[in-house]
Structure 1
Amino acid sequence: MKAVALTKIGKLEMIEKEKPQPKEGEVLVQIKAAGICGSDIPRVFVNGAYHFPTVLGHEFSGKIVETGKNVDSKMLGSRVAVFPLLPCHKCKYCVAGHFVQCENYHYFGSRNDGAFEEYLAVPTFNLLPISDNISYEEAAMIEPATVAQHAIQKAHLRLGDNVVVYGAGPIGMMAARWAKINGANEVILFDIDKEKIALAKSLGFDHILYNRGNENSAAIQEIFNGELADVAVEATGNTHSFNDCVNSIRKFGKVIMLGNPHSEMTLDQSVYDQCMRKEGEILSVYNSVFKGYPIDEWKVTERAVSSGRLKINDLITQKVSIDNLIELFETIHDHKEVSCKAMMVNK
């Protein structure tokens, strides 16, 4: 079967692999759609993988075409999204249902080969059945959509709260949409990329502003009737946005750390001082809740997409076959096209 593997930093190659055989408790998933995550770009071109070669791809969906031992054959033909983290099921965090805090986990698309190939063997535990009215492309976005949802869940929004989100990438835009679903009054998106701002405006976001740093507070107060934000979501992994988030919250407001950091994350002394004076909260999030405590956030996302409450398909800007996936990575890396969510789609 075909697979796109990272063979060294900056080098993706099309390779041939043996089609995997599902083991006991596993199914064989024919990959139908797999998204390129923002973290995949630095993994390919800067940071590298845990080992080489590695097949990336952790946002994916597909069809069950084979079952392993002790797996109900009725699962054949089922359409599924896949939770990419592979917990050990033995450590104290797994036993407590906090699977993303597993002390001995593996991960599709980083520690294990992922979905940028034609077939993948997946444990039944990691499967999320999807409704018939959800496309495979939408199902592949359940993973990043649930990461965004987890950030808003952590914020414990109250009806009427005002929210700012720094970063108008797919995660940031989905966080903004989740905030509205969860009762936010007004939501402002900030970014420094004018093309992203234009895309967000075309998608109907009410308030999408250029990030002007120290000038943001005045713009926020103008939209929020003289108040600063109840919640600020940092969805860029950038130290400047981190400082901007802290400056954007009201007294007793919250900052949610969502973005993957690309460099050192620090708070300026004056910003740190203001956070203390405000008694602001800085909360971190990692991944999402799957089949665990307190809710199964993946099911929440699936229902929200199926019902139409959460729109995500309009964030998909590129779709290619596996044969054109390497070229798509290079296009995104070289900023040749405006990209929000780019995706490999197999027939």
Structure 2
Amino acid sequence: MTITYAHVDGLSSMTLSQEEPPADLAPGTVEVAITYCGICATDTHNYTSGGQVPPAVFGHEWTGTVSRVADDVTGLHLGQRVLACVGPACGACAMCRAGHADHCDLAFAEANGVAPGSPAHGGFAASMVVPARRVMPVLDALSDVEAALVEPTAVTFHAVKRTRQRLGAVVVVQGAGPIGLLAAQHARHAGAGRLVVIEPNESRRRAAEALGFTEVLAPGDAAREAVLAATDGLGADVLYECTGVAALLQPSAELVRRGGTLSLLGFPMTDSTVSYGDWQVRELTVVGSLAYNHEDFLGAQRAIADGSVQVAGLHTGTIGLGDLQTMLDELDSGETTHAKVLVDPSR
């Protein structure tokens, strides 16, 4: 079947073709009946841009149950709950052969929907066929809603892991959308000594407070002064930039102390202007983070299972496939109150 989503202002359109599952599964693949698929900013951007990301990426935050297994696949069984992930390091690509398995070319291609055998469409569907290496069993302790939120949790788990935040660090998290709230929880779990959340939206500030964060501030001079006061005028040890707003990159760097770390999670869609000399003179460490490794999904699941990271509160709505276009328009408007919306194809 083919579902066409036309942006309401007529500036862009996108067609998602959901192919009928093959009668016989190809070797190394499984079919998954989708339980939930989360909508993220990448999906909204894809919708407004007319489908500029690979089809497999449109609807990449999914969980479901195994409905068919190819004859050569082991370790997975019918009815098993699974979630989308990237496969383990392949051991054969140029990066792996050079000893850089954490940056495996195949896993990176899978994360970006361009690997050989990538699905023909994402999880905004009743079912999909994927390589077996691209699914991970869901821990028994997780609910289906929590399982649907593992993918963004893995994104932020990966970023905090790469940042190598020191115990007791003074941490600033800029942006309290789903990614910012998850990054803040991972940073707290990693031993932040003091953590300040900066967010302009009042409802998002309340969401941060509901997660136990006590220093939640609107951006501006008061937030800057609070960070400086907490550090004897030095600035934060680590700042996680989670907004993806290009204009905030240099102001974010200026909140970091000399020798501190600026960790980039938000993805700007335009070029940024920064002061190269400022960064060099102050010897900033800048850590870029995109996507994840296979093991990050297990770490993310364990963090949710033991309560270190709470995700259920981020879930603010569930819709059916027929409501996807309307919800994408709402999320793109900038006026939504939603944090994380899940699509349930059975509705």
After TM superposition, the score normalised by the length of structure 2 is: 0.86
Q: Is the 8 A contact 1:13 1:326 kept in 2?
A: no
Q: Is the 8 A contact 2:318 2:341 kept in 1?
A: yes
- The counterpart of 1:231, out of the listed 227, 230, 238, is 238
**2:226 paired with 1:222:** no
Which residue of structure 1 aligns with residue 109 of structure 2? Answer: 105
Distance 1:208 1:144, change over 3 A: same
User: Secondary structure of the residue that 1:260 maps to in structure 2?
Assistant: coil
Which residue of structure 2 aligns with residue 324 of structure 1? Answer: 323
Identify which range, 218-227 or 79-88, moves more after superposition. Answer: 79-88
Which residue of structure 2 aligns with residue 45 of structure 1? Answer: 48
In the TM superposition, what is the alpha-carbon distance from 1:86 to its structure 2 partner?
10
User: Secondary structure of the residue that 2:172 maps to in structure 1?
Assistant: strand
Q: Distance in 1 between matches of 2:125 and 2:112?
A: 12
Q: Which amino acid aligns with 1:198?
A: R
User: Secondary structure of the residue that 1:66 maps to in structure 2?
Assistant: strand
Q: Distance in 2 between matches of 1:285 and 1:123?
A: 25
Q: Please show how residues 300-319 of structure 1 align to structure 2 within 5 Å.
A: 300-319=299-318
Which residue of structure 2 aligns with residue 146 of structure 1? Answer: 154
Q: Distance in 2 between matches of 1:344 and 1:160?
A: 39
**2:165 paired with 1:162:** no
Q: Which amino acid aligns with 1:246?
A: A
User: Secondary structure of the residue that 1:230 maps to in structure 2?
Assistant: strand
In the TM superposition, what is the alpha-carbon distance from 1:108 to its structure 2 partner?
7.3
Distance 1:203 1:5, change over 3 A: farther
Q: Please show how residues 294-305 of structure 1 align to structure 2 within 5 Å.
A: 296-305=295-304
**2:252 paired with 1:248:** no
Identify which range, 17-26 or 83-92, moves more after superposition. Answer: 83-92
Q: Which amino acid aligns with 1:26?
A: T
Q: Distance in 2 between matches of 1:122 and 1:276?
A: 45
Q: Give ranges in structure 2 of 5+ residues lacking alignment.
A: none
Which residue of structure 2 aligns with residue 57 of structure 1? Answer: 59
For residues 106-141 of structure 1, the C-alpha deviation after alignment (integer angstroms, 9 at most, x for no partner) is 557687411100101111111111122212221121
User: Secondary structure of the residue that 1:151 maps to in structure 2?
Assistant: helix
Q: Please show how residues 1-347 of structure 1 align to structure 2 within 5 Å.
A: 4=3, 10-11=12-13, 17-21=19-23, 22-46=25-49, 48-50=51-53, 56-72=58-74, 75-83=77-85, 90-94=92-96, 96=99, 97-98=101-102, 101-102=105-106, 105-106=109-110, 112-212=120-220, 216-224=223-231, 226-267=233-274, 269=275, 272-290=276-294, 296-347=295-346
Q: Is the 8 A contact 2:86 2:107 kept in 1?
A: no
Q: Distance in 2 between matches of 1:76 and 1:128?
A: 14
Q: Is the 8 A contact 1:63 1:78 kept in 2?
A: yes
What percent of counterpart residues are identical?
26
User: Secondary structure of the residue that 2:303 maps to in structure 1?
Assistant: helix
Which residue of structure 2 aligns with residue 293 of structure 1? Answer: none
Q: Distance in 2 between matches of 1:216 and 1:245?
A: 12
In the TM superposition, what is the alpha-carbon distance from 1:276 to its structure 2 partner?
2.6
Q: Is the 8 A contact 2:5 2:14 kept in 1?
A: yes
Q: Is the 8 A contact 1:161 1:186 kept in 2?
A: yes
